[in-house]
Structures are given as C-alpha cells and as structure tokens.
A = this chain, B = another copy of it.
Amino acid sequence: MSHTVVQKYGGSSLADVAKIRRVAERVKASREGGHRLVVVVSAMGDTTDELLGLAKQISADPPRRELDMLLTCGERISMALLSMALQGLGVPAISFTGSQSGIITDDTHAQARIIEVRPERIEQALAEGRVVIVAGYQGVSRGREVTTLGRGGSDTTAVALAAALGADCEIYSDVDGVFSADPRLVPSARKLEAVSFDEMQELAAAGARVLNAQAVELARQRGIVIHARSTHTAGTGTVISASAPRARVRGITCDENLWVLSSSRPPALLFAALKALELRARTVLASAREKTMVVLPLEDVHSPEALRKALPSEVEVLDDLATVTCVGTGLGSDWDLGLQAHELASRLGGGVVASHGSTLQLTLVVQRQMAKALTLALHEALIDGAMQ
C-alpha cells in the first residue's frame, strides 16, 4: 500500500480561481509521485473576513453558534472548487466537510477542540483511489452541532488527520517554511531548516503566522513531523519535529493583534471573570506596578467592542500595546540577553511595559508603535550579529 500524505493549503494559496487551479496541478503532481493524498483547505483569501463582516453588520456580538454556521461555509466553497478543478484535470477527487471527515470536537463554539477523529469515509475514498479534499477549521460535536477550531484551525485539522491516518503532514503557505522573523518585516530573516516542536509553539503563540500553536501541540503529542513548505516553489521548507537541534535565539516575532488586560483585583477574581467570558489568555504577567496583566490575543475575539463592555469595570484594557518575543533555549534566565533587549527598547524611546521569560522565550510588552522597530533591532543584534 502506498504512503498517505496530508497536505494543507492556506487561504492565500487558494485566493482565486487561478490559484486554486495551481494548487490542483500541485496536488496532481504529488499524486503522480505515488502518494495517497488528503488535502485540507482553508477558506479562499479573505472569505472568512467577508463573512465576519456580514455578521458584524447584523450584530455587534453575533452568537458564536451561528457564527460557526456562517464561517464554515468558507472552507466548503474552497473544497468544492478544488475538487472540481482536480476532476477537471482527470484526477478522481471527492470533498468532505468536517463532519463527513469524522472530525469530532467538544461543543465550544469558535474555539472547539478535536476530541476524536473517525476517518472511515476518508479511508474508503482513499481505498477507491481518490484524492480526498477536507474542509479545514471545522468539525461536529457529539450533539451534531457545527463547530470551528479558531483561527489557523485548518493546521490542526491537518495534523489530526495525519495522526488518525498514520500519514505525513505537509503545511503549504506563501513562504518556504519558518523564518527567524517575518521576512516582510525583517529582510535579513533566515529560513530555518529544522525547528523543535516547543520552539515552534512559542513562535506560533507569540504571533508567527506560519503555523498554528494548537496544531503544533497536537503534532508534539502525537509524534507527527510537520513539513512547512511553499505552495509556489520547490524549496526544502522547514521540518518541525521533536529532534531538531536547539539554538540560543531561534527567531524573533511580534504580535500587534492583542490587548493587555490590567487589574488590581486579586488574580483569582480576575481569572474567574475571564473564564466566565470563555477567554483564553496567552500569558499572565506580573508587572512592576504589582498589577496582574493578561496578554489576550484578539485573533479569536470576533467582537472586541462587545468584549470591552462585558469586562468587569475594574479591568483596564490596554489596547495600544504589542509583544515582541525572542524564542530560543534558556532565554528566560539569559540575563545578558534580557539586559540587551531592555536597552534596545529604551533606545527606541518606548521602554518596556512588562516582560516575561521562561525556558524557551523572552517576551517584551511594549508600545504597539515601536514593536516592528524593536523586532528589527533584536533580529539584527541577536541573529544577524551571531552569524558574523
């Protein structure tokens, strides 16, 4: 029996009909290489944001269940079109929704977790010689409710299917793998040949868009090696695995799409309030001012203004901050590096609002307007400098 490969294509690789055709050609070539193929797709280009925009016109805080109903259409459109394109090339193909693919999740709308994969229909279609196209980002609960996995959830779909099928996992995007920083921001950013799961998780959680943090966590748990590659070129990409060698500084990433919640409340009370709102924080920080600070990614917060109103009045929303994170081994106790980072931030005029280090990362919370410049400066000092 030939080898099974799960490939995932992101929204920008499927942004229009011409791009969908190109992905179909690529899938066809992979199939001719002798693989059994499952292809997970995201929504075309900006479809998700367009659907979200419609919902926002209807309601400042759309109910999450209905939002999931709405947003899952994006991947369904992609999968049907890609399947048509493949069939047009003479490749037998069939598309399956999350539900038809057997992606069973809990019932947390907008941020569901996969609890089981029952890939019987996929296996049958593969046995019939077909390429299987799967709608990413979505599943179905045991109560037969349509759910979504949160932004970037198509990566999680791909990893979960690879685990269930004993398959390889290839994640395709517009860049050839994982870089030491976002190449659009840092022109000297280097492509990384290999990254360990935990470094990748830190990079993803701190704003690197190339892979979803939950997907990496799932790959780590299930021992699935991820190959991050470019849709457009034949580069070697990046291998994400347990065995990648460590580096002092692997990469620098910044995240501007977040709020910092600040409160003088006892942490237990604050946490209870955040739990009641079903919010998932990225980090909890104790600042110099002895307030509790919570870094809240806004990616899955569909209605920030509704959230602002729902927060207890004692919680201050700091909406002009960003994080810049260095990922690498031992950074949390690398005092030289910590000092250097703080100095660079001061030199850029903003200073550091708070910082937090742990085994694999050092995060600086800074004014949003200086985040990009600090990322560039840190890359220059810690990565470009280290190459010389």
Contacts and interface: CB of A to CB of B under 8 A. Distances in A.
A80 B69 contact: yes
Q: Interface on chain A toward B: helix, strand, loop, or mixed SS?
A: helix
Given A65-B94, A100-B144, A59 B85 contact: yes
A84 B100 contact: no
Contacts of A85: 58-59
A38 interface: no
A376 interface: no
Interface in A75-95: 76-77, 79-81, 83-85, 87-88, 94-95
A50 to B, nearest CB: 10
Interface string A50-61: 010011011100
A146 B80 CA distance: 12
Nearest to A57: B17
A121 B84 CA distance: 33
Given A17-B54, A76-B76, A100-B144, 11 more contacts: A55-B80, A58-B81, A59-B84, A62-B84, A63-B83, A65-B94, A67-B80, A69-B79, A69-B80, A73-B73, A73-B77
Interface of A: 17, 20-21, 51, 54-55, 57-59, 62-63, 65-67, 69-70, 72-73, 76-77, 79-81, 83-85, 87-88, 94-95, 97, 100, 121, 144, 146
